Amino acid sequence: EAQVTQNPRYLITVTGKKLTVTCSQNMNHEYMSWYRQDPGLGLRQIYYSMNVEVTDKGDVPEGYKVSRKEKRNFPLILESPSPNQTSLYFCASSPGLGSKGYEQYFGPGTRLTVT
């Protein structure tokens, strides 16, 4: 089954404790992206990647890191989480090329709470 997976789905952590949220897709997509979704603010892009070893900042990159060492994986790293990073996080991927290149498919989401 074609899908984007994220782990963990739920996470409660404390301020300053480094964490990683994993994202993996099995569709051989070129493009991957991380979003956060907050009430009243909609979906905001954190980082994106056009291909392996190619990443760039989105709208709200502060406090986050990413890496793309393999095409299928795009982990999101919070090196020192703070309470304002409490949010619902989505990973998404799209082919990046072709007529459907921009059709993004989302993972199930990770609900993060930082206390």
Query: Where along the sequence are the contacts to other proteins (CB under 8 A)?
Result: 31, 33, 40-43, 45, 48, 50, 56, 58, 90, 94, 99-100, 102-109
Comparing CB distances to other proteins, the nearer of 39 and 69 is 39
CB of 16 to other proteins, least distance (A): 28
Comparing CB distances to other proteins, the nearer of 11 and 105 is 105
- Return the exposure string of 20-51: e unless at least 16 CB atoms fall within 10 Å of the residue's CB, then b: ebebbbeeebbbbbbbbeeeeeeeebbbbbee
Quote the tokens at residue 43: 């979906």
CB of 102 to other proteins, least distance (A): 5
Comparing CB distances to other proteins, the nearer of 31 and 64 is 31
Residues 6 or more apart whose CB falls under 8 angstroms from that of 82 comprise: 15, 16, 63, 114
